[in-house]
Structure formats: C-alpha cells, structure tokens
Chain A
C-alpha cells in the first residue's frame, strides 16, 4: 500500500531534550515536506526536500533541522525542543513534476513540557 509513515504518533518530552520524528514513504517520491498544524493557523511548512541531499527552509524553520540521506526517508530533528513547538506535525510527499497533490502521513502529536 502506498503510504507515508510517521513515527511516533504521540510524543511527550521535556524542554531541551533532543528528539527525532521519522518519516518514510514507499512511492519513490522526490519531494518531501514537513508541516506543523496549530489551531487557527492551518498547515505551515517547516522544511522541504526536492531530492536526496537537497533541502530548503519553509515558512517556519526556526528550531528544526532535517536531513535527506535516502530518497524514502526525511526525518525531522528538534535539537532543543521548547514548549512553543508543541504541535501536530505532518510529513508529506509527492512527485516533483505533475500536479498530483501530496500524500500525508497520519501525524505526530508532540507535547513539550
């Protein structure tokens, strides 16, 4: 089944403790992206990647890092999480050409205390 898999689904952590949220897709998509969703603010793009070793900032990149060492994986790294990063995070992927829309993962609900 074609899908985007995120882990974990839920995470509670403390301020300053480094964490990684994994994202993997099995559709051979070139493009991958991370979003955060907050009430009233919709989906805001954090980082995106057009292909292996090619990443760029989205609209709200502060406090986050990403890497794209393999085509299928695009982890989101929070080096020193803070409470304002408490949010619902989504990974998405798509082909680079054509307007087929994104396939989203099921989300990771992160709480930083």
Chain B
C-alpha cells in the first residue's frame, strides 16, 4: 500500500530552538495533515493543507504542501517544553475515498528546558 516516509524518527532539542520535520511519498496526495500526540493521549489535528504550494501557520507552527504534491514539512519555531510529543503527518490520496488517510510513523520530539 501507499507509504509516507517521515523524518527524522526522533529529535532532542533545547528549549528555544527551531524544529523542522518532513514527510515524503512516491505518490501524490490531495491533502496533507499534521497531528500531534501528547503522551498518553490521542493525536490532535494541528494543521491541514489542501493545495500544492500552500503555506499555513498555526501560532509557532508552519506547514507547507509541497509543489510536487508528494511531500510536506512542519516547522516549529522557538520550541517550548509543552511541544514534547509525537508528530504525525497524514495524507489523503486521489486513489482513495476522501476519508482514507495514510499516516507517517511519527517524529518523537523531546525538548530540554
């Protein structure tokens, strides 16, 4: 089946640093979504991207839908301890119904105060 390659797998950073993570695929996607999972909780939607080239911000978070429709990245600026968690990308492909999402394996972020 379709796969999303998410990198890096994990990151250890100091508070205040900027963070960047990305997802790539060999297939094109119509929609890219970024989720955050806090320890012990379910993933929560952070940002949704619907058009190639789209750049969207949500506070300190910025995400972009790649021009080729095969990739997306998420940046976090000036990280704080509560940014700790697992970040997942998800894509919706033209081949599937609008409800079917493919998930990356996640980027585990640790922020040292």
Contacts and interface: CB of A to CB of B under 8 A. Distances in A.
Contact of B43 (A48, A50, A90): A90
Contacts of B98: 96-99
A24 interface: no
Contacts of A43: 43, 88, 103, 106
B30 interface: yes
B43 A100 contact: no
Is chain B's interface secondary structure helix, strand, loop, or mixed overall?
loop
A101 B92 CA distance: 9
Interface residues on B, range: 20 to 34
30 contacts: A30-B99, A31-B99, A40-B105, A42-B88, A42-B103, A43-B106, A48-B99, A50-B97, A59-B1, A90-B42, A96-B98, A96-B99, A97-B98, A97-B99, A98-B98, A99-B33, A99-B48, A99-B50, A99-B92, A101-B45, A101-B90, A101-B101, A102-B45, A103-B45, A104-B35, A104-B42, A104-B44, A106-B40, A106-B41, A107-B42
Interface of B: 1, 30-31, 33, 35, 40-45, 48, 50, 88, 90, 92, 97-99, 101, 103-106
A104 B43 contact: yes
Is chain A's interface secondary structure helix, strand, loop, or mixed overall?
loop
A107 B40 contact: yes
The 5 closest A-B pairs by CB, nearest first: A104-B42, A42-B105, A99-B31, A31-B99, A101-B45
Q: Among A43, A95, A102, A106, which residue has the most Cβ atoms of chain B within 10 A?
A: A43
